Amino acid sequence: MSELIDLPALRPVLDGADHVDVHTVEGEVRLRKFVAGSTGWAPGWVRALYQVRRIFARLLRLAHADVKPGSHLRPEEIPFTPGRRIGFFTVVDGEDDRFLLLEASDSHLASFLAIVAEKAGGGRNRFRMVTVVKHRHWTGPLYFAAIRPFHYLVIRGMARAGTSGAHPSGLRGPAR
């Protein structure tokens, strides 16, 4: 992960992180199309997980945003301006064709998703999806422990949807 620390926008996010993971994929798409596909991916089982998340958060009495997966943005609509929204994420920083740093915060934790693009050769790009979690309250580790088993499945599906080039207008994910 040392190559990711060289991205200046990511340094403050990594500082004090309680959890960091990196999922790497390659595809013949550019960053905007990857982000549109990955953030727009929301098959039924993912939407059901977010319903369970809502109930679990209420049981823990957490102040949380009502999260609805799937951003439905076309590649040309992907914002790189800090403060703009992509689904339930807020843009923190970004540079077209290089990286996009997103944040989703609740009272119990702050989570960040960095999508870093680099040339892989042969017309392909390598995308690193970096998830960073910072606990804000004693309920943060408890909450994250409950959702962590599903995190890998969701990120893997998002990555597949991003590299497939599928338009995010449908909620079922990429065609197989």
Calculate the CA dihedral of residues 154, 6, 29, 174 and round it to 10 degrees.
0
Helix 31-40 vs helix 139-164: crossing angle, to nearest 10: 120
pLDDT for the residue 75: 93
Segment 31-40 shows an average pLDDT of 94
| Per-residue pLDDT at 158 exceeds 70 | yes
Average pLDDT, the chain: 84
Residue 117 has pLDDT above 70, yes or no: yes
* pLDDT of res. 43: 84
pLDDT surpassing 60 at residue 5: no
CB atoms within 10 A of CB 36: 27
Cβ-in-10-Å burial (0-12, 13-18, 19+) of 132 comes to buried
Task: Name which of 119, 118, 83 is nearest 101 in CA terms.
Answer: 83
Task: Output the pTM of the full model.
Answer: 0.84
> Which domains can be identified in the chain, with CATH numbers?
2-164 (3.30.530)
Arithmetic mean of pLDDT, 110-118: 95
Per-residue pLDDT for 24 more than 70?
A: yes
pLDDT attached to residue 67: 53
